[in-house]
Structure 1
């Protein structure tokens, strides 16, 4: 999982992830937007479910983050389909709308995000 941190013209931290993990970057860019309290909430939840069968979910405006003791899933809220909304013979492309990664890798990205945002 490769990624890079940038600053936009307003100074806001932006994150770009490699193919297959783009949604992780979208989550940081759309839901976090520099909110370190949100990141602390995610870290606390990860610590809480570690070593258990429990899971935790955070629904945002555009993306939902779900985690358990081993992995993190981020998906676009638009992926929630009811019944057979897709026409027969058609497939929904979700490569840029859903991503999975390990909890430890995700927590490391959070730490690097904090460091970059602080100007380290």
Structure 2
């Protein structure tokens, strides 16, 4: 399953919020599937993934929300760099989430990735003190 690098953070704190009801429902299914299996093979990407395809801003696999595509790619590239993995790497879900949680222990650790993301208050609740 193809997953954007920054979604490795988002999925762990997902609480059902989203750009639309349909998007939130689809994301919930992806999150349940990914987090429900420690041996699911994930392709880590900096492009449209299984979550993005349900987003109302997705047009031809590109985010058309004003200026968001570049910012989202930067978030993915930052996660890839901090984890020391190459885009397109295939990793078992249990292993990658363990590594993500070792690398990003607090909300402060996630600050460089999440920046001013509108969802950070909703999805980083599990990481401790506020950004």
Same fold at TM > 0.5: no
More strand by share: 1
TM-score by length of 1: 0.30
Structure with greater helix share of residues: 2
Q: TM-score, normalised by structure 2?
A: 0.28
Instruction: Say which one has the larger Rg.
Output: 1
